[in-house]
Structure 1
Amino acid sequence: MTIGPRKLGPYWLIGATTFSRIGTLAYTVVMTWAVSKAGGNNSVGWVNAAAGFTIVLVGISAAFWLDKFDKRTLLLLLDAAAAVVCLTAAAVLLLVPMSSVVFTGVVVAVVTSAVASLYSPASRALIPSMVPAEGLERYNSVYTGFSETSRAAGPGLGALLLAVGGSEAFPLSLIINSISFIISFLLTLPLPADPPRQANEHKQKKRTFCQSVRVITKHAILRGEVLGALSINFLLPSNTFILLNRIAETGAKASMFGLANFFEAAGAVTAALTAAIIAVQLRRIRASQLMAPIALALLLCLTAGIWATIISLTIVTALVTVYNIILFSQLQREIPREKIGRVIAVVTTSSAAVMPLGNLVFSKLSTTIPTHMLIWATTITLLVTGLAITIGNRKRGGSV
């Protein structure tokens, strides 16, 4: 597909999200190392807990007000705020003797997590105002492809900063992160404004988080698709523990863990690029129809070899990537514009909330049951959930 000058506008948003994501991931790598050195792994846990709590809290609040503001203006304000905070934190670390690395990490984690919690639904909600309905799958495929590329590039940049920055790596990573937000700000400027839409008198009543949830649950198809996404996000952490167990059982080198993550990122990018090519065909299927293939791909992990496990998890990651592309395209197409920001905030916040729960559950299971039982438990849960959604989707009726 050739992108002409008139069609380039929406792609500035992809550039903005890619640069800010690379900077944030690079900073996260360096911050984790610096906080661990300064305060131990317990301090890293506190920083991550502060970030997770902020994401959920701010995400819930977004369900009340996100659609009341111009999305482009909100994105600009978020980039500007994050850039200022990161630059200020870097200046404090460089200029103030004995400044606390751990405290700085917590403050920046809270701010950047709040920004991320708002940026994701706001940017996703802005897309339908720039991209026609028939082009959503292709656009979201490119969006996801660049996002997954940044997932690999960001940690690589962070490792480079640790290698060359020495004792100044932490403030340097903050400066790099700030620059990435400034670039994101500049790339967001050409985007069209998306002023809030006035609802009719009946719709002007106060909306709560639960009322935003009802927008999804009343939709005959989307409720199943979102339920499937939440189930996958809860079950997905099992992949990490399956991989760790296989590495221990086979005596593979620790570097295989990093290699597996690289293959998974490559699988996600490949899936996104493929989805962009077959975007027309993607509109004919529902995201939940991929739950059975995801479950079956996971069964390859039953082969005890480490490479079979890596290949299996790469396929799973690729299929989950396509699932997300289809899901967000459906949300952007089906949800009315005056509600879309809050609804996407509900989806992204719920996903952020269930993943830590999945980590807790599967970290415990991975030490109490054999690896093959962990694989079967995840697979069967995926299949049962997918079957339940398929049966539910056969019941017609309901609207947004």
Structure 2
Amino acid sequence: MGVPLRKNVQFQLLWFGGAVSQLGTTVTSLAAPLLVIALTGSPFWAGAVGGARAAALIAALVPAGVWVDRWDRRTTLVWSQTVQAGAAALLAAAILTGRAHLAVFLVLAVVDGVCSAFAGPARTTALQAVVPKEQLKTAYAQEEARGHAARVAGPPLGAFLMAAGRAVPFVVDAVTFAVAAVCAWFAKIPARTETRPRQKMRHDAKDAASWLWDQKGLRNLTAVFLVLNLLGGATLLPIIVLVGERGGDALDTGVVFAGIGVGGILGSLLAPRVSLAPGRLVVGVLVVFGLCTLAMALPFGVFWPFVPLAVTAVVTPLINVAVSALYTELVPEDMMGRLDGITTLASRVLTPLAPLLGGFLAGAAGGGPALLVSGALVLVTAVVAAFSDLRPVAPQRT
């Protein structure tokens, strides 16, 4: 079984670097839109900056996955995070010198999105290279816990740093990316032992997409995640509207959304102990998600949505960890980067539409009715998933 995960120096380096950089990212996820709104007076442009980053990330996912499978994953991870550190530092410098125009935010958001597209599959394949297969489920659970802890600590820290100075959150972000790059540099990530003939990048991507298409269970799981990401993202604005309708302010809304981080940490602790097959587990998660979304509309006060949000966040890491472990078992190592990019693209391609859907429902009917519609759609998805083939099959090479 090898050394315990807590003594695996390479994993701990990657985990610590990821934890630090994710904290920096969550800090600026609040600071950046607040600053754009302060500079332009328009929430639309704050959304445009976020949309530019998301679009760049989605557009770069597949070529980034192909690149990771072709080139050294450690070097890819180091350079991606180094460029992100540089972009954050440039933004901080622009703010300090009074040159933080909208175009600067847009360009650097695109750079950050592209780098994230490369860092994601590079990190995924690096973890699989340094962690024994029997410990990967626990490793993925620790990754989930890291993300949820950052979501709890990042926004209030971002608000505190903004109060200290507009450029401070971005200076901190630059430092965290630099720390992550140094950690990745010192992590001894082994080179791949399997080699394959080089071909055009589009053929590499096509091979991976064909492999996924032939795996019916994985393909259907990806489709379920596509719907879940869309409907999950569409609930955020209705929750904000609901809290406001009940007399809550911005601080109250922040307390409500803290339920996601609190529940996610608990779910990450439980995830390694869950042994249900991913197909059954995803149906159960959908049912819990749907019922909790419906429950948020219950007239129990401003802070009531905290509870169903926390319950939803408890079950989310269970399926994330189970599916990550499943992909590790089934996907060939030299295809993992491409599959990571393709599945991330396929499961998130509709995510940019989520705020539009949630905003439309909340604007047309109010926060409570919008949540009822979203919850009902999730339960419908659960029924469809229950009658779909979500069973994984043995890996095959095309």
Q: TM-score, normalised by structure 2?
A: 0.88
The answer (yes or no) to whether the contact 1:275–1:282 under 8 Å persists in 2 is: no
2: distance between equivalents of 1:89 and 1:205? 33
2:323 maps to: 327
Does structure 1 retain, via aligned residues, the 8 Å contact 2:65–2:121? no
**2:215 is the alignment partner of 1:213:** no
Q: Does structure 1 conserve the Cα–Cα contact (< 8 Å) formed by 2:230 and 2:350?
A: yes
Alignment of 1:50-199 (within 5 A): 50-94=52-96, 96=97, 98-165=98-165, 169-170=166-167, 172-196=168-192, 198=194
Q: Contact (CA 8 Å) 1:35, 1:43: kept in 2 or not?
A: yes
The residue type equivalent to 1:173 in the other structure is P
Can you give the 5+ residue segments of structure 1 that lack an aligned partner in the other structure? Answer: none
| Alignment-mate amino acid for residue 319 of structure 1 | V
Tell me what 2:268 maps to.
272
- Distance, in Å, in 2 between the alignment partners of 1:223 and 1:235 is 19
Q: Secondary structure at the match of 1:393?
A: coil
2:289 corresponds to 1:288: no
Residue 274 of structure 1: CA displacement? 2.1
Which letter maps to 2:51?
Answer: A
Report the AA paired with residue 295 of structure 2.
L
SS where residue 136 of structure 1 aligns?
helix
For residues 189-247 of structure 1, the C-alpha deviation after alignment (integer angstroms, 9 at most, x for no partner) is: 23233435655569999535454333222213222222221111010023223323432
| RMSD of aligned Cα (Å) | 2.8
The one-letter code sitting in structure 1 at the alignment partner of 2:24 is: G
Q: 1:65 to 1:263 in 2, by over 3 A?
A: same
Instruction: Please identify, of 326-335 and 350-359, the stretch whose mean Cα deviation from structure 2 is larger.
Output: 350-359
Q: 2 CA distance for matches of 1:176 and 1:397?
A: 45
1:85/1:378 CA distance change after superposition, 3 Å: closer
CA distance in 2, matches of 1:394, 1:116: 29
Q: Partner residue of 2:13?
A: 12
1:377 corresponds, among 373, 379, 383, to: 373
Quote the Cα distance in structure 2 between the aligned partners of 1:310 and 1:205: 46
User: 1:215-294 counterparts in 2 under 5 A?
Assistant: 215-276=211-272, 278=273, 281=275, 286-289=280-283, 290-294=285-289
Aligned residue-pair number: 391
Letter in 2 for 1:155: P
Choose 206-215 or 11-20, whichever is displaced more.
Answer: 206-215
Does structure 2 retain, via aligned residues, the 8 Å contact 1:244–1:257? yes
CA distance in 1, matches of 2:153, 2:164: 17
1:393 aligns with 2:389: yes
> Taking structure 1 as reference, are residues 262 and 217 closer, same or farther at Cα in structure 2, changes over 3 Å only?
same
Q: Cα distance 1:195–1:237, how it changes in 2: closer, same or farther (>3 A)?
A: same
SS at match of 1:323: helix
* 1:370–1:108 CA distance, 2 compared to 1 (3 A): closer
Q: Secondary structure at the match of 2:349?
A: helix
**Partner of residue 336, structure 2:** 340
Q: Indicate the residue corresponding to 2:361 in structure 1.
A: 365
In 2: Cα distance, 1:334 partner to 1:328 partner:
10
Cα distance in 2, alignment partners of residues 130 and 22 from structure 1: 23
Q: Report the Cα offset of residue 64 of structure 1.
A: 3.5
Q: Is the 8 A contact 2:294 2:375 kept in 1?
A: yes
Which whole-Å CA distance do the structure 1 matches of 2:34 and 2:206 have between them? 39
For 2:238 and 2:306, the matched residues in 1 are separated by 10
CA distance 1:394–1:4, shift in 2 (3 Å): closer
Are 2:297 and 1:297 aligned? no
Question: What's the CA shift for 1:396?
Answer: 8.0
Give the Cα–Cα distance (whole angstroms) in 2 for the partners of residues 92 and 370 of structure 1: 40
Taking a change above 3 Å as real, the CA distance of residues 51 and 201 of structure 1, as seen in their structure-2 partners, is closer
Preserved contact between residue 137 and residue 283 of structure 1 (Cα < 8 Å): no
**SS at 2:305's partner residue?**
helix
TM-score, length-normalised on structure 1?
0.87
Q: Is the 8 A contact 1:27 1:174 kept in 2?
A: yes
Q: Within 2, Cα distance between the matches of 1:147 and 1:164?
A: 25
Which residue does 1:316 correspond to in 2?
312
Structure 1 residues 202, 314: closer, same or farther in 2, change over 3 A?
same
Change (3 A) 1:286 1:345: farther
Q: Aligned AA for 1:30?
A: A
Looking at structure 1, the residues matched to 245 and 94 of structure 2 have their Cα atoms a distance apart, in angstroms, of 46
- Quick one: distance in 2 between partners of 1:394 and 1:355? 22
Query: What is the Cα deviation at residue 180 of structure 1?
Result: 0.6
Query: Cα 1:385–1:207, aligned 2, differ >3 Å: closer, same or farther?
Result: farther
2: CA distance, partners of 1:175 / 1:245:
33
Deviations along 1:4-63, one digit per CA (max 9) or x if unpaired, are 775232122111111111122223333322222222224323322221221111113224
